[in-house]
Chains A and B, each alone.
Chain A
């Protein structure tokens, strides 16, 4: 620990951070630009933030995205936690390993494959029920819940495995019925995992573009899709302002996430 980081090491680190954060800093900086230019800084102003909030499309898309992210992450957390409890109750063996691999595959699969296959499936099911415009909010929600689930299961499972199997027994022993005992003593133990899953799902859902692009219909646009369609024309600096806001939001969430993680790790150490 005491060993000094070598100069080369420091330079490398600085370069890494520069490459990682330069675009973000650039956007943050130019979102406060007073002019239309993308390269000349003409003075500090918040006019692009003002214009941003007058643009109907963007506001609607932002609202849609938030609704979608909140709903899909909450549903994913409920389903994922239930699934984890089920998987955890399975005996160790090929069945459990199999279930876990199946759960992980959607995370590995290229998003474009997931997106296209989901779209095809939705359209196919739509045909079956004689509906031509199935793609919309419901399909988008299903898609988002689907790709959020593995993240929830992955963060809840380890917590669940750490829980002393005698804990619910101790609660039952003291007179509590099994279901209530589970909620009273097991759930509090896995809350850190559930929170992690919730935050991860929310961010994944919030900035997903590819899968949303294929599974959403013309009636329901999310923010990433709205931005994409705007950049086809000329990029206006209010996009900088929007990106800056999104970046700051995600950044705050990440800080919260790390805080939760650090706290639960500190508790385990004791």
Chain B
């Protein structure tokens, strides 16, 4: 395991103008992995990437690349390459010369340059675009040129800073698949920064969830979704109903004034906990059979399912099912024991997971903007 670690951040901290951006980060990335740094604006993910790229130096701690500390190695000597947010293509050069840029710096023979550039352009589906000006290309095509340009110099690690942020949804999905394919073909390490949890879930081998300069949780997509460590992760990845609960004993938890069977253990008796129930794990049943009963306050059709907000004793639950229950109707809710996830209390407890202020507009507004946290 230790052996194929390619990048290792050890106790790395960084602050700008007295504001701590990264707080004692420890992160090991294995060779050939697709790692995503996921978090809201200002969580420190871009800073982490720039530290690895060499554009920033850590205030304390070490950045280790293949066993060597590279804190003071300038970007032009590092074997990592970056895809920048707005592509950063050289507009005075054509597509071919953009891709050939790094090879020319390395003084490769012309024949080799041509071979590599043609290969790269073919890989990103831009065969025959060599003579075009970069400005005449669409956003997606420019992104491909940037990818070809970075990969042409055969980096050990590719850093991607929200590369798909500027593309529209459909194109973004296609590019996600394509990036994943390229990564698997080349077998090199990708470190990907995004605030889009869907993107992270669908592409990554490992997700690193970050907030306020700390790593909140690190693990496989499924583990992060199914076993979030705290209220922040539960809320940031997918939708969650997060309630205050009390562990009565192993396998029994109290919340919403009722006792539920669950599959978690190892908490102290009567320990206060956060209880997470994913909206898609709740079923509607007739009122008399319900473990909990409440009144529907909002229904939104989402295509695949209805998103229903149910008021249960003042707490608004989100439920995603294919059943339709009109606003005002009384419903019963049923939750299976293995669909209840228990988390210890954290600094994020109570901040998330209640849908009482939920509305469509609110959802749009809270969509994080692309972040430039270090400028």
Contacts and interface: CB of A to CB of B under 8 A. Distances in A.
Interface stretch (A22-30, A145-153, A170-178): A170-178
A188 interface: yes
Contacts of A55: none
B163 to A, nearest CB: 12
Interface residues of B, number: 26
Interface residues of A, number: 20
A169 B84 contact: yes
A176 B88 contact: no
Contacts of B84: 164, 166, 169-170
Contacts of B81: 173-174
A92 to B, nearest CB: 11
A52 B91 CA distance: 48
Contacts of A189: 91-92
B136 A165 contact: no
Nearest to A169: B55
Contact of A177 (B76, B91, B106): B76
Interface in B158-187: none
A175 B88 contact: no
A185 B90 contact: yes
A130 B130 CA distance: 65
A167 interface: yes
Q: Is the interface of A mostly helix, strand, loop or mixed?
A: helix
Interface in B103-138: 105-106, 135-136
B85 A166 contact: yes
Contacts of A171: 90, 101
Given A174-B81, A174-B102, A188-B92, A165 B75 contact: no
A164 B86 contact: yes
B74 interface: yes
A270 interface: yes
B53 interface: yes
Nearest to A167: B88
Interface of A: 164-167, 169-178, 181, 185, 188-189, 267, 270
5 contacts: A164-B84, A164-B86, A169-B84, A172-B76, A173-B53
Top 6 A-B residue pairs of the complex, sorted by shortest distance between their CB atoms: A174-B102, A166-B88, A188-B92, A170-B88, A166-B84, A175-B105
Given A169-B55, A185-B92, 9 more contacts: A164-B86, A167-B88, A170-B88, A170-B149, A171-B90, A173-B75, A175-B77, A178-B74, A267-B135
